[in-house]
Amino acid sequence: MKILIVSATEKEIFPLINKINTVNQEDLTVDTLITGIGPVFTTYLLTRRLSEKDYDLVINAGIAGSFKSEIPIGETVFVQSDQFADLGIEDKNEFHTLFEKGFLNKDQFPFQDAKLENPYDFNLNLRKVSAITVNTTHECNTSIDMLKQKFEADIESMEGAAFFYVCLQEGEKFLQVRTISNFVRERNTANWDIPLAIKNLNQKLFELIDVLSKTKNS
């Protein structure tokens, strides 16, 4: 089984990278791809890699911000759907998506009702969430409230929807897992816990790779 793990930064998956030789076996190969932060870099580098090499599974792994108190810092979640949350038009102090303005059909492939959905069921023991992807993380209460009302998302990242879009277009089997490092609110990094998020994320990655590789070979 050939698995590609995609992350925005090396830091987020460094524990995995540091032990990659212990993961790789005769019937299991795990590659990593560090794209840089944001959807543009993710789209280009992931598309290029997939054009060069075939994989059985592509995993997007990283940290994320939570909009909801019931999804706490340190929890790892499975992203069921993702959306581009800042691709659109501002008109009279209101933000409208390209779908709302008629520039894109909300059901034009690979979108389903303006969302990017993961069609694969991995039966993982993880909370399923909806996500939004942004070019700029949010700390202003006005913009945060707008995002909550408009998209009803559980978490926020800066790469997920780009990852979904590429994988759906290329016909790749994929999944996105995120571990919560902070709540999306007025910025106070003293309340963040990135080390915990990275620790839990990588622990879950090792578990997922083990389970998925056994499933592939069964």
Question: Residue 217 has what pLDDT?
Answer: 52
Residues 54-60 have a mean pLDDT of 97
What was the pLDDT predicted at 49?
98
pLDDT of residue 215: 67
The yes-or-no verdict on residue 35 having pLDDT over 90 is yes
pLDDT band at 186 (very low <50, low <70, confident <90, very high): confident
- Asked whether the bond before 195 is cis by omega within 30 degrees of 0, the reply is no
pLDDT band at 22 (very low <50, low <70, confident <90, very high): low
CATH of domain 2-217: 3.40.50.1580
pLDDT band (50, 70, 90) for residue 163: very high
Number of CB atoms found within 10 A of residue 98's CB: 15
| Strand 2-7 with 29-34, pairing | parallel
Domain boundaries, the chain: 2-217
Cα-flanking dihedrals φ and ψ of residue 99, to 5°? -70, -45
Report percent pLDDT > 90 for the chain. Answer: 76
Q: Is residue 83 within 8 Å of residue 131, measured between CB atoms? A: yes
Task: State the greatest distance between any 2 C-alpha atoms of the chain, in Å, as a whole number.
Answer: 59
In the predicted structure, residue 142 carries a pLDDT above the cut 90: no
Q: pLDDT tier at 123 (50, 70, 90 boundaries)?
A: confident
Q: pLDDT value at position 145?
A: 86
What's the whole-number average pLDDT of the chain? Answer: 93
The predicted-structure confidence for 63-105, as pLDDT tens digits, reads as follows 999 999 999 999 999 999 999 999 999 888 889 999 999 999 9
What number of other Cβ atoms are within 10 A of residue 54's Cβ?
A: 9
